[in-house]
Amino acid sequence: MRNIHFFFQSPLPTLRKRTALKAFLLKQSRRLGRPIHTLNIIFCSDPYLISINQQFLQHNEYTDIITFDLANSPSEPLHAEIYISIDRVRDNAKQLGVSFKQELHRVIFHGTLHLMGYKDKKKSDIALMRSMEDRLLTTYFT
């Protein structure tokens, strides 16, 4: 059974066409070699996400996204949770001069790519991650 669920701390009218987004994520995860079994995407506030960051990762800083791979191994179908701070996405969109909708989808794709094994700590990894995000955004929105 393949399921993607969206959960909202408060309403998010910008995220439309959820069924199409779910289908896209399912297709891309298969293409990238790690099919989704269950993926929960939780949209929340800065205070909520920083509490998760402190509790589970021992980081005391704001972030736009935290991913948790709940599968027993990366060779298993994906069981995961993605937490996204709407506050950070909104601020990042303003700083980057892009729409909230575009930045929101970039962050969703970023989290999914992390769960597929993509990293973003080294310069070369960041470049590859950005390239993949751009590719997914272009594919999704055309």
Q: What is the pTM of this model?
A: 0.94
Pairing of β 65-69 and β 78-85: antiparallel
Can you give the pLDDT at residue 116?
94
Comparing C-alpha atoms, which of 88, 86, 49, 91 is closest to residue 68? 49
Longest dimension (CA), the chain: 40
Domain count, the chain: 1
Alpha helices (H) along 5-74? 18-31, 46-57
Can you give the pLDDT at residue 1?
56
H or E segment and range at residue 78: strand 78-85
Average pLDDT per run of 10 along the chain, which is 142 residues long?
87 84 96 95 95 86 93 90 96 96 97 95 96 97 92
How many whole angstroms separate alpha carbon 72 and alpha carbon 79? 9
How many whole angstroms separate alpha carbon 114 and alpha carbon 98? 22
Q: Domain containing 13 — which CATH number?
A: 3.40.390.30
**Could you tell me the residue range of the domain that residue 55 belongs to?**
3-141
How many whole angstroms separate alpha carbon 73 and alpha carbon 17? 31
